[in-house]
Amino acid sequence: MRKCGANIEWRPTLEIRKLPSQYQGRYSRTGCEVYKGMLAAIPRVSAGRPTAQVRDVHCVLDGDDCCEWEFTWGTSGPFRDPLPWLGLAGSLLLFTYSVSPLPLQALFYPVIPVPLVVGWYYSLLRQSRKREEERAVQLVEQQQQSEKQLGQLLEAQSDTQAANIPLEQNVRSLTVLHEIGLTISSTLNMDELLQRTLQVIKDDLHFDRAIILIVDAERRVLTRGRSIGGPPEMAALVRSLEIPSDREELASTQALISGEPVLVPSSAQVAAAERDLMRVLGASSFLVVPLTANGSSP
């Protein structure tokens, strides 16, 4: 069987430059495998011959400026079934005998075409089975390739979704800041300002309920509470709630001192002075966030 070959180059530089850096390597790897597999299948699809053998010459993943592959395939002709020829030979023998002066030669006239027909028929059956087997192999190869590409696409989609999470969080934070800024610029009434701020926190940050307490520097307590999201009786309890602001074991005091949010993950970690807050919230955990105005907590 004589061998033929060809070298083919793929230069994805322009496509790669249009992609984010985190996807460039995956695009090069996936494109290399897909194009290589498609080109290797050409002998099978076009002429029913075995898939071409491939050798990697250059690859962009190795720092080369292109992917180059060497394809090699055979040029032998299609499979020739000997059965029709054997049948033809048998029919010729019967014909020769029938025209000879041998005894009973006339009895062979009706069966002269039988060997040819039988050989031709079984040859068609064998070729049909061979084509079915080749189709089954092609389907398995295509299914494996499709599953591989699907896995790569799902992985790329997962990476894209993971990369979008920080962006969505930043957009949400900017939206909240924008809404609060609009609220501050539209009113000077403290009660209305606090209530609008609570509404923005609940709607844009998707909390079930929220409370704002004002620092009373003279009395050293958090008081004059405003709330949103709870039952009606919660608002009255929040207005009468007072929490010391000078006790360092309290989460609210820690948030005021550090200027950073403090998470209380369970009721077991709540100090006695903050149990009323936990009871008012009706929650097993809560987050304390300091709000500052002109560098100080309101």
Q: Which domains does the chain have, with CATH numbers?
A: 3-77+126-162 (no CATH), 83-116 (no CATH), 189-288 (3.30.450.40)
Q: Residue 183 and residue 150: Cα distance in Å, rounded?
A: 48
Q: Residue 37 and residue 23: Cα distance in Å, rounded?
A: 21
8 A C-beta contact, residue 79 and residue 47: no
Which residue bears the tokens 């071409």?
A: 52
Q: Which of 221, 217, 213 is nearest to 239 (CA)?
A: 213
8 A C-beta contact, residue 151 and residue 25: no
**Left if phi > 0, otherwise alpha if psi is -120 to 50, otherwise beta: which for 48?**
left
Q: Which of 197, 234, 199 is nearest to 214 (CA)?
A: 197
pLDDT per residue as tens, the chain (298 positions):
567 788 989 888 877 888 888 888 888 888 888 888 888 887 776 666 788 899 999 988 888 888 999 999 876 555 566 777 777 777 777 767 666 666 666 666 677 777 777 877 887 888 788 888 888 888 888 888 878 877 877 887 777 677 666 656 655 655 665 566 665 555 566 777 777 777 777 776 677 777 788 887 788 887 787 877 777 777 777 777 777 777 777 777 777 777 777 777 766 666 665 666 677 667 667 777 776 655 444 4
Give phi and psi for 74, each to the nearest 5. -90, 155
8 A C-beta contact, residue 223 and residue 194: no
Longest CA–CA separation in the chain, Å: 139
Instruction: Give the other-Cβ count within 10 Å of 281's Cβ.
Output: 20
